[in-house]
C-alpha cells in the first residue's frame, strides 16, 4: 500500500478545515491553472483530490456456510459497520451486496481493472476442483476460475476461516468435490490464513485494521497465520489448566467435575493442539468460549480437524487403509502377539529338551560355517 | 571352509570349562551404560506416557493442592531428554567404539548379511544352536536398528515436536516443528507417538526372551554380558563375525 | 410470442449460491422461472463411517447463517435412534437457543438481507432529519434514539460515504428504480435502523455464547447440553449467567416490539400491492417445534405441526414423518442420477450420485427442460410445498392456535388487509416479523421455566446413560426434526456398529428452491415468481423481492445427500 493511500485526501483535510465544496472546486481550478493545465483537466484534479483512500476489498464466497461473514458482523471492536463504511471499501460481497446478477459481476471486473495491485481479495470458502469445478459456479463461471482471475491483480489475499485456509468440512474425507484451500490454488501472492470455523469476529476485523492502520501485513507464522492471533495454544492459556495440571478431569457430561469446571481433556478437548485466540479474547465480545461453556475445544482452526477421529476421544484411529483401531488397541494386540509367540517358542523349546534327553543332543551342533 | 562342531560332552565341559569357553570383552562400558539408561528411560517414558494419554487418578479438592498430571508430564520430559542425550551418545559410540559397537548395522548390500539373517531366523524357529556370534547376529542387529534406532528417532522427532508446541517459534519449534505438518497436524503426530511407543513394548518382550533363550542355547553368557561386557565362546566359534569389518 | 430471458446470478444477500432465470412475456410479466442451486458440497457423503455423536458438528457447518438448527436436528435424530430422552433443562436451553436464533436471524434478514429491496439508500440523502425524527417518533414511540440530531448524524455519515465515490456494497444497485416507493424520510429512518440492527444482532446472539460457547456454531451434545448448571458454582451456569440471558431477552423484546415490528408495518404500508404478488404454490407445511413436553410429544409444540393445502385455512392435514410414503425426492430436473433411472425416492432410500449434465462453465443459460440444479425436488404426497415462517403461521392459524391467531389477526387489522393477503411476498416478509414477536415472548417463558426448575432443585443438563458407544445397539435408526428459521428441517440417521451408515437431511431451502418435478410442478421460488410484472428487465428488483421474502439459504439446500442407495427401511418417530 502506498503511503498516500492511508492518509486522508486533500479534500478530506479541506473539509475538515471548514472549506465547503464550492470553495473546494475553486481551489481545484486554481491548482489546475497553477500547474499550467487547461480547463478540461479540472475535472481530473477534482477527482484526484477527492478520491477516497479506502482500500477496495473484494470478498468472494465459494464452498462455505457463510459463518465467517456472520462472525465478522459479530465483531464488537471495531464493529463491522465501522470497518465497512469507514475503513475499507467493500466493493464486492455476495452476502451483503445491494445489487445482484450481472451488476455485481461487473463491479468485480471493474475493481480489478481500476485498482490493479491495490485491492485486497478476501476469500470465504474454498473451490471445488473435481469435474472441472462444476460444484460451485457464480454467474455461470466456476468459482475456481473466478478465484484465480481475481487473485491475479490482488495486493494480498486473505483466506477467511478454515474453508479457505485449510479446507474444512467439505474437504474432510472423502472430499467428494475435491475442495482445496486457497493457498493451494493460487501462487505468487501473499496469502494470510485466518483459520477457525469461523474465526473470532475481532480477529477478522483486527487483521483488516492492522493492515490499514500500520500499512503493512502482519507477521505470519510458518503456515501463514498472523502471529498476533495464532501464536499459542488454547491449552496454555486455558482457565481450566490448573485442573489439568492437578489431574482433575471431567469424566462425563454434567458430572461433579463438570460442575466444578474441571479440565475437559478426557472429554476429547483439542485445546492442547489448537492455536487460536479463544482463550484470550473469547467469543462475542468476551462473553464465553467453548471450553468456558463446558464443551471441549473441537480444534476448528487446525488443519484436518474433522478427520482427527471422534471429537470426544483424545486418540484418533490409525489412518492406515483397512485399520480402524486406536494406537492402544493395536499396541495391545501386538504385545499380546509377541507374548504368545514367546510362550509358544518357549513351550516347544521345553518339549524339545525333554525329548532330546533320550537322544544325542543335536541342538548343539552348529550349522555350516563359512 | 565349513567345519562341524562336535556335540558337547557335558561332563567334559563341567570338568574343563576353560577348554570350551573362552572370554572376550565385547560390550564396552559406554554400550552397557547406554543399554541400561535406555531401558530405564523407555520404561519410565512408556508408563508416564500411558498416564498422560489417559489420566486415571482424580484427586479431590482444590487444584492448587495437587500437581499430579503436571508432575507426570515433567517426569516424562526429564526422561525424554535423558533418552535423547543417551541416544546421541550411543550414535557417537557407533564410530568410536570397537567393532562390536557397529555389529548391529544392517549391511543390506552384503549377501552374507542376508544369509546370516535367514539362517538366524531358521535357527530360532528350529530351536537349533546354530551359528554363534560375539557381536550382534543379523536378526538381532536388524531388530535393534528398527526398534531401538529407527523407533528412537521417530519418538525423538514426534516427541520433541509435540514438546515444541508450547512455543512453536522457539528453539525446538524451529528444530523439529516441521514434523507436525508433515504428519498431518498435531493430533496425528500425537497418535503416531503413541503408536510407536507400543513398538518398545513389543520389542522388549521379544528382546528379553531371546536374550535368555540365546544365552541358554549358546551358553555364551549373553545375559551377564550386558553387565560385565564379556561374552563366552567355544573354540572355533569366533571367526564368523568377520563380515562385520 | 417474444420471450425475454432474465438471468440473475448471483442472487446476493442470501446464504450460498443461487441462480434465477426468468422468462418474460411481451408485457414484461414473468411466465416461467428456473431456480438453480449452483453449489454442492456433499456433507452427507462425508458423514458416513463417523461417530454419530460428532454428526451435529458436521451438519451444523451446513449453514453458518441459520447456525445451530442443523446441530439441533442432528442431536435429536441421534438421540431418537439411541432412545435417549434429554433432561428437561437441556430441552429448555435448546429451546432458548433455538428461539434466540429466530430473533437474530429474522432481524438480520429483514434489515440486512431484505430491506434494500424496499429501501432506497440514495433517496435517504434527500431526507429532512427533523421530519424523519417526527416520522420515527410516530412509527415507534417507544424507541429511544429518534431525535433530529441523531438522524442528522446518520444522514451525514451516509452523505460522506456516498460522496466518497466508493459506494462499496451499495454500488451498481437499483437506486431510483420506480419500484422504490418510500419517501426520503422513511428511507433515512430505515437506513438508521439498518445500522442499529447491525449493532444489536451481535448482542442477542450472546445467549448462544453463554450456553454453547460461541456463535456462529455453538456446541451441542448428544444427550443434553454441555453447559452444566451449579447455582453455587463459579465455573458454569450460575446466577450471573442467567441474569445475562434475561437481560438479553429483555433487550430483544424491546428491539422486536420497538423497532422491527414498527418498521415492518411502516414499510409494508407503502407496498400493499405486494400482498397480491408472489403467492406461489399455496401449499404450506410445518413439522412444528419448541417442545413443551419433550420432543417426542408432537401434540405439545409451540409451533404446531401440519399441512395446509391449496390455501385452505379451514383444514389442517396431518403430517406423519414416520410414514415412508409421504415424502419423496425427485430428480428429473436435478444433476443427480438414481439407480435404474428412477425419478423419485423416499429419503430413507435416498441415493445421491452427482451427475452433472449442465453446460460446461462458463455458460450463459441453463435449459429449463433439462436438468438444471444441484437441488432435488422434495414433494409431500406428490405436492410441492412451501415451508418457512409463513407456513408455520398459517398452519398454526389454521390449527386454531390462540397465540398465533392473536398476532396474525392484530397484524391484519393494522395493515387493513384480509387474511388472503398473507399468501404473498409481503405475507412472507410480515410472517417473519410476527414470528419474532412470538419468539421473544416464548423466550421469556422458557427462561422462566428454567429458573423455576432450578428453584425446585432440578439442575441436570445431560443424560449420559447412552454416551458410551458400548451401550448402543448394533443397529439403530432415528429421525430428528426442527423448524429452522427458513422452515421444516429433517435429519435421518442409520447407525451401524457405532458408526454412521447413512445420513440424510431434507432442508427448508430444498423445499422452497426446488426445481420442477417430473409432472412439471414448480418449486416454491419458481411458482412465486410467476405472474410478477417487471418494470425493467435489467434491474431485477421484483425478482429479488420475492426470492428474498423466502430468505434463501443455499448452502443448506445443496449440502445433499447420501451416496450409496442404502435403504433406511423404517424410521422410528416418537
Ligand atoms: S480444558 Fe482443554 S484446553 Fe483447557 S486445560 Fe483442559 S485440555 Fe487444556
* pLDDT tens string A12-39: 655 655 556 666 566 556 555 544 455 5
Instruction: Tell me the DSSP string of chain B.
Output: ----PPPP-HHHHHH-HHHHEEEEE-S-HHHHHHHHHHHHHHHHHHHHHHHHHS------S-GGG--HHHHHHHHHHHHHHHHHHHHHHHHHHHHHS-GGGGTTS--TT-HHHHHHHHHHHHHHHTT------SS--HHHHHHHIIIIIIHHHHHHHHHHHHHGGGSTTSHHHHHHTTHHHHTTSHHHHHHHHHHHHHHHHHHHHHHHHHHHHHHHHH-S-HHHHHHH-EEEEETT-GGGGGGG-
What burial class does residue A16 get, using C-beta atoms within 10 Å of its C-beta: 0-12 exposed, 13-18 middle, 19+ buried?
exposed
Q: What are phi and psi of C294, to 5 degrees?
A: 85, 150
- C553 is annotated as an active-site residue: yes
For residue A311, the Cα-to-chain-centroid distance in whole angstroms is 19
List the single range of A342-346, B12-16, B69-73, C450-454 with lowest mean pLDDT.
B12-16
CB contact under 8 A, C360 and A132: yes
- Among residues B53, B36, B98, B48, which one has the least CA distance to residue B76? B48
Most A CBs within 10 Å: which of C21, C37, C42, C190, as the mutation test of the A interface?
C42
Q: Which of C19, C44, C63, C424 is catalytic?
A: C63
CA distance C72 to C220: 7
**Distances from the Cα of C406 to the Cα of A112, B178, C259, C437, angstroms:** 53, 64, 20, 11
- Whether the per-residue pLDDT at A40 is higher than 80: the answer is no
Output the pLDDT for position B19. 66
Cα-Cα-Cα-Cα torsion B221, B224, B229, B232, nearest 10 degrees, comes to -10
The three-state secondary structure class of C386 is strand
- Among residues C13, C10, C15, which one has the least CA distance to residue C509? C15
**Distances from the Cα of B244 to the Cα of B116, B119, B134, B136, angstroms:** 12, 16, 11, 10
Q: Is the pTM of this model over 0.80?
A: yes
CA distance C37 to C34: 10
- A234-307: CATH superfamily: Cytochrome-c3 hydrogenase, C-terminal domain (4.10.480.10)
- Among residues C458, C296, B163, B188, which one has the least CA distance to residue A315? B188
**Model confidence pLDDT, tens digit, residues A172-210:** 988 988 999 999 999 888 899 999 999 999 999 999 989
- Helix H or strand E encompassing C18: strand C18-24
| Omega of the bond leading into A198 within 30 degrees of 0 (cis) | yes
Ligand 1, residues A232, A235, A236, A275: which to mutate, most atoms within 8 A of Cβ?
A235
First and final C-alpha spacing in chain C = 55
pLDDT-derived band at B238, boundaries 50, 70, 90: low
- Among residues C480, C487, C484, C481, which one has the least CA distance to residue C524? C487
CA distance B182 to B175: 14
**CB of C496 within 8 A of CB of C51?**
no
CA distance C231 to C70: 30
- Among residues B240, B159, B168, which one has the least CA distance to residue B192? B159
Count of CA atoms in the C-beta half-sphere (13 A) of A161: 32
- DSSP code, position C349: G
Ligand 1 atom index nearest CA of A291: 1
Residues 6 or more apart in contact with residue C141 via CB below 8 angstroms: none
- C77 is annotated as an active-site residue: no
- Among residues A67, A63, A61, A25, which one has the least CA distance to residue A43? A25
- Of A232, A251, A331, which is closest to B201 when you measure between CB atoms? A331
Q: What are phi and psi of C503, to 5 degrees?
A: -140, 135
Q: How far apart are the CA of B99 and the centre of ligand 1, in A?
A: 50
Instruction: Tell me the DSSP string of A244-305.
Output: HHHT-B--STTSHHHHHT-B-GGGT--GGG-BSSHHHH-BTTTTB-TGGGT-----TTSTTG
CA distance A276 to A24: 48
The answer to whether chain B touches chain A by having 3 or more C-beta pairs less than 8 angstroms apart is: yes
Q: What are phi and psi of B27, to 5 degrees?
A: -95, 110
Output the pLDDT for position C561. 31
Output the pLDDT for position C298. 87
CA distance A160 to A156: 13
- Of B3, B59, B209, which is closest to A369 when you measure between CB atoms? B3
- DSSP code, position A213: H
**Model confidence pLDDT, tens digit, residues A220-236:** 998 899 999 999 999 99
**CB of C229 within 8 A of CB of A260?**
no
Fold of the domain built from segment(s) B22-244: Fumarate Reductase Cytochrome B subunit (1.20.950)
Cell 441523531, residue?
Answer: C150
**Model confidence pLDDT, tens digit, residues B34-78:** 999 999 999 999 999 999 999 987 788 888 888 999 999 999 999
The three-state secondary structure class of A54 is coil
Q: Which portions of chain C are predicted below pLDDT 70?
A: 1-3, 16, 324, 343, 346-352, 554-574
Q: Which of C15, C185, C329, C435 is catalytic?
A: C15
The answer to whether chain C touches chain B by having 3 or more C-beta pairs less than 8 angstroms apart is: no
Q: State percent of chain B over pLDDT 70.
A: 89
Ligand 1 binding pocket, CB closer than 6 Å:
A 234-235, 238, 240-241, 244, 263-265, 269, 271-272, 291, 296-297
Output the pLDDT for position C558. 46
How far does A116 lie from chain B, in Å, by closest CA?
34
CA distance C529 to C522: 10
CA distance C487 to C551: 10
Residues 6 or more apart in contact with residue A112 via CB below 8 angstroms: A58, A119, A149, A150, A152, A153
B131: closest chain A residue by CA: A366
ipTM surpasses cut 0.85: yes
**CB of C460 within 8 A of CB of C87?**
yes
- Among residues C15, C85, C77, C75, which one has the least CA distance to residue C212? C75
- Among residues C462, C491, C572, C521, which one has the least CA distance to residue C60? C491
**Model confidence pLDDT, tens digit, residues B113-128:** 898 899 889 988 888 8
Q: Which of C17, C19, C61, C70 is catalytic?
A: C70
- DSSP code, position A86: I
CA distance B198 to B183: 18
Output the pLDDT for position C349. 66
The three-state secondary structure class of C230 is coil
- A3-230: CATH superfamily: NADH:ubiquinone oxidoreductase-like, 20kDa subunit (3.40.50.700)
CB contact under 8 A, B55 and A339: no
Q: How far apart are the CA of A231 and the centre of ligand 1, in A?
A: 17
- Whether the per-residue pLDDT at A68 is higher than 50: the answer is yes
CB contact under 8 A, A261 and C236: yes
List the single range of A294-308, B157-171, B193-207, C539-553 with lowest mean pLDDT.
C539-553
- DSSP code, position C113: I
- Average pLDDT over chain A, rounded to an integer: 84
CA distance B68 to C90: 34
pLDDT-derived band at A272, boundaries 50, 70, 90: very high
- C509 is annotated as an active-site residue: yes
Cell 439446500, residue?
Answer: C557
Q: How far apart are the CA of C214 and the centre of ligand 1, in A?
A: 16
**Distances from the Cα of C191 to the Cα of C152, C187, C491, angstroms:** 12, 6, 39
Q: How far apart are the CA of C302 and the centre of ligand 1, in A?
A: 39
The three-state secondary structure class of A132 is helix
Question: What residue spans define the domains of chain A?
Answer: 3-230, 234-307, 327-369
Question: What residue spans define the domains of chain B?
Answer: 22-244
CB contact under 8 A, B58 and A244: no
Amino acid at each position: 500500500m502506498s503511503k498516500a493511500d492511508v492518509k486522508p485526501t486533500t479534500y478530506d483535510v479541506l473539509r475538515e478545515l471548514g472549506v465547503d465544496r464550492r470553495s473546494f472546486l475553486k481551489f481545484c481550478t486554481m491548482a489546475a491553472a497553477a500547474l499550467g493545465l487547461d480547463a478540461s483537466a479540472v475535472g481530473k484534479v477534482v477527482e484526484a483530490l477527492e478520491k477516497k483512500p479506502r482500500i477496495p476489498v473484494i470478498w468472494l464466497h465459494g464452498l462455505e456456510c457463510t459463518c465467517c461473514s456472520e462472525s465478522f458482523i459479530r465483531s464488537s471492536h471495531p464493529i463491522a459497520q465501522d470497518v465497512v463504511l469507514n475503513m475499507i471499501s467493500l466493493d464486492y460481497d455476495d452476502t451483503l451486496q445491494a445489487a445482484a446478477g450481472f451488476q455485481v459481476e461487473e463491479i468485480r471486473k471493474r475493481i480489478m481493472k481500476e485498482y490493479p495491485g491495490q485491492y485486497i481479495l478476501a476469500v470465504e470458502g474454498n473451490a471445488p476442483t473435481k469435474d472441472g469445478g462444476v460444484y460451485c459456479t457464480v454467474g455461470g463461471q466456476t468459482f475456481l476460475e473466478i478465484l484465480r482471475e481475481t487473485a491475479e491483480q490482488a495486493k494480498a489475499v486473505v483466506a477467511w476461516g478454515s474453508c479457505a485456509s485449510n479446507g474444512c468440512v467439505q474437504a474432510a474425507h472423502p472430499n467428494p468435490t475435491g475442495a482445496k484451500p486457497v493457498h493451494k490454488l493460487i501462487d505468487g501472492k501473499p496469502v494470510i490464513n485466518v483459520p477457525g470455523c469461523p474465526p473470532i469476529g475481532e480477529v477478522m476485523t483486527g487483521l483488516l485494521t492492522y493492515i490499514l492502520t500500520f500499512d503493512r501485513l502482519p507477521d505470519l507464522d510458518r503456515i501463514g497465520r498472523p502471529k498476533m492471533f495464532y501464536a499459542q495454544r488454547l491449552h496454555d492459556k486455558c482457565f481450566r489448566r490448573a485442573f489439568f495440571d492437578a489431574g482433575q478431569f471431567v469424566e462425563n457430561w454434567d458430572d461433579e467435575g463438570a460442575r466444578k469446571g474441571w479440565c475437559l481433556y478426557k472429554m476429547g478437548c483439542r485445546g492442547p493442539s489448537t492455536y487460536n485466540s479463544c482463550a484470550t479474547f473469547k467469543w462475542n465480545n468476551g462473553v464465553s468460549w467453548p471450553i468456558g461453556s463446558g464443551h471441549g475445544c473441537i480444534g476448528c482452526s487446525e488443519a484436518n480437524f474433522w478427520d482427527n477421529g471422534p471429537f470426544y476421544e483424545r486418540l484418533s484411529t490409525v489412518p492406515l487403509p483397512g485399520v480402524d483401531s486406536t494406537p492402544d488397541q493395536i499396541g495391545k494386540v501386538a504385545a499380546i502377539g509377541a507374548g504368545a509367540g514367546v510362550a509358544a517358542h518357549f513351550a516347544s523349546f521345553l518339549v524339545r529338551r525333554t525329548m532330546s534327553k533320550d537322544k544325542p543332543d543335536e541342538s548343539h551342533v552348529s550349522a555350516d560355517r563359512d | 571352509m565349513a567345519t562341524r562342531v562336535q556335540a558337547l560332552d557335558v561332563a567334559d565341559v563341567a570338568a574343563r570349562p576353560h577348554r570350551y569357553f573362552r572370554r572376550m570383552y565385547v560390550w564396552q562400558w559406554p554400550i552397557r551404560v547406554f543399554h541400561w539408561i535406555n531401558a530405564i528411560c523407555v520404561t519410565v517414558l512408556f508408563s508416564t506416557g500411558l498416564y498422560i494419554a489417559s489420566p486415571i487418578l482424580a484427586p479431590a479438592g482444590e487444584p492448587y493442592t495437587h500437581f499430579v498430571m503436571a508432575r507426570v508430564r515433567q517426569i516424562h520430559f526429564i526422561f525424554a531428554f535423558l533418552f535423547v542425550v543417551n541416544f546421541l551418545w550411543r550414535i557417537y559410540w557407533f564410530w568410536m567404539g570397537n567393532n562390536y559397537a557397529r555389529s548391529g548395522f544392517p549391511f543390506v548390500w552384503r549377501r552374507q548379511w542376508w544369509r546370516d539373517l535367514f539362517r538366524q531366523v531358521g535357527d530360532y524357529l528350529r530351536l537349533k544352536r546354530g551359528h554363534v556370534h560375539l557381536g550382534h547376529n543379523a536378526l538381532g542387529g536388524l531388530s535393534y536398528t528398527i526398534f531401538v534406532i529407527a523407533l528412537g528417532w521417530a519418538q525423538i522427532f514426534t516427541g520433541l515436536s509435540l514438546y515444541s508446541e508450547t512455543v512453536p517459534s522457539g528453539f525446538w519449534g524451529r528444530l523439529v516443528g516441521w514434523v507436525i505438518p508433515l504428519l498431518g497436524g498435531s493430533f496425528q503426530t500425537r497418535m503416531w507417538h503413541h503408536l510407536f511407543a507400543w513398538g518398545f513394548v513389543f520389542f522388549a518382550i521379544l528382546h528379553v526372551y531371546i536374550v535368555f533363550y540365546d544365552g541358554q542355547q549358546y551358553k555364551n553368557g549373553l545375559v551377564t554380558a550386558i553387565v560385565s561386557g564379556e561374552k563366552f565362546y567355544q573354540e572355533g566359534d569366533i571367526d564368523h563375525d568377520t563380515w562385520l569389518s | 410470442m417474444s420471450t425475454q430471458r432474465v438471468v440473475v446470478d448471483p442472487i446476493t444477500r442470501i446464504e450460498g449460491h443461487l441462480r434465477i432465470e426468468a422468462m418474460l412475456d411481451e408485457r414484461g410479466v414473468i411466465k416461467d422461472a428456473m431456480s438453480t442451486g449452483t453449489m454442492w458440497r456433499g456433507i452427507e457423503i462425508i458423514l458416513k463411517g463417523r461417530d454419530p455423536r460428532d454428526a451435529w458438528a458436521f451438519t451444523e457447518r451446513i449453514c453458518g447463517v441459520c447456525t445451530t438448527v442443523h446441530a439441533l436436528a442432528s442431536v435429536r435424530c441421534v438421540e431418537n435412534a439411541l432412545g435417549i430422552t434429554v433432561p428437561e433443562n437441556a430441552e429448555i436451553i435448546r429451546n432458548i437457543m433455538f428461539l434466540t436464533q429466530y430473533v437474530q436471524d429474522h432481524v438480520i434478514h429483514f434489515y440486512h438481507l431484505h430491506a434494500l429491496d424496499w429501501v432506497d439508500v440514495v433517496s435517504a440523502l434527500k431526507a429532512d432529519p427533523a421530519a424523519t425524527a417526527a416520522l420515527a417518533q410516530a412509527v415507534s414511540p417507544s424507541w429511544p434514539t429518534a431525535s433530529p440530531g441523531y438522524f442528522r448524524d446518520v444522514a451525514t455519515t451516509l452523505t460522506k460515504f456516498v460522496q466518497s465515490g466508493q459506494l462499496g456494497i451499495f454500488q451498481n444497485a437499483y437506486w431510483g428504480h420506480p419500484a422504490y416507493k418510500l419517501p426520503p424520510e422513511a428511507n433515512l429512518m430505515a437506513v438508521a435502523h439498518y445500522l442499529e440492527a447491525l449493532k444489536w444482532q451481535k448482542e442477542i446472539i450472546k445467549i448462544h455464547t453463554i450456553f454453547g460457547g460461541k456463535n456462529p456454531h455453538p456446541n451441542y451434545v448428544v444427550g443434553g447440553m454441555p453447559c452444566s448448571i451449579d447455582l453455587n458454582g463459579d465455573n458454569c451456569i450460575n446466577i450471573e449467567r442467567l441474569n445475562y440471558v434475561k437481560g438479553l431477552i429483555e433487550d430483544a423484546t424491546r428491539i422486536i416490539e420497538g423497532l422491527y415490528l414498527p418498521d415492518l408495518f411502516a414499510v409494508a404500508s407503502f407496498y400493499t400491492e405486494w400482498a397480491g404478488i408472489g403467492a406461489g404454490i399455496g401449499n404450506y407445511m410445518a413439522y412444528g417445534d419448541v417442545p413443551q413436553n419433550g420432543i417426542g410429544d408432537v401434540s405439545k409444540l409451540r409451533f404446531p405441526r401440519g399441512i395446509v393445502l391449496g390455501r385452505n385455512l379451514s383444514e389442517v392435514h396431518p403430517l406423519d414423518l414416520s410414514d415412508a410414503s409421504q415424502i419423496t425426492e425427485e430428480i428429473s430436473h436435478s444433476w443427480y442420477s438414481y439407480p435404474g433411472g428412477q425419478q423419485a425416492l423416499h429419503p430413507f432410500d435416498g441415493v445421491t450420485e452427482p451427475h452433472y449434465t449442465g453446460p460446461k462453465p462458463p455458460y450463459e443459460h441453463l435449459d429449463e427442460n433439462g436438468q438444471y440444479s444441484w437441488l432435488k425436488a422434495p414433494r409431500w404426497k406428490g405436492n410441492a410445498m412451501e415451508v418457512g415462517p409463513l407456513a408455520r403461521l398459517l398452519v398454526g392459524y389454521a390449527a386454531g392456535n390462540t397465540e398465533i391467531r392473536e398476532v396474525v389477526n392484530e397484524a391484519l387489522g393494522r395493515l387493513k388487509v384480509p387474511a388472503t393477503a398473507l399468501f404473498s411476498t409481503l405475507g412472507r416478509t410480515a410472517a417473519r416479523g410476527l414470528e419474532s414477536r412470538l419468539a421473544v415472548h416464548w423466550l421469556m417463558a422458557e427462561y422462566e421455566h428454567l429458573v423455576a426448575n432450578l428453584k425446585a432443585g432440578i439442575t441436570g443438563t445431560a443424560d449420559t446413560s447412552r454416551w458410551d458407544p458400548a451401550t448402543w445397539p448394533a443397529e439403530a435408526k432415528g429421525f430428528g426434526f426442527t423448524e429452522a428459521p427458513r422452515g421444516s428441517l429433517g435429519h435421518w440417521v442409520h447407525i451401524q456398529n457405532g458408526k454412521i451408515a447413512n445420513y440424510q437431511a431434507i432442508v427448508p431451502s430444498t423445499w422452497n428452491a426446488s426445481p420442477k418435478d417430473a409432472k412439471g410442478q414448480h418449486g416454491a421460488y419458481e411458482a412465486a415468481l410467476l405472474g410478477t410484472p417487471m418494470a425493467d428487465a435489467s434491474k431485477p428488483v421484483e425478482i429479488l423481492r420475492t426470492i428474498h421474502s423466502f430468505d434463501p439459504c443455499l448452502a443448506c439446500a445443496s449440502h445433499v445427500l447420501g451416496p450409496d442407495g442404502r435403504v433406511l427401511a423404517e424410521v422410528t418417530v416418537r
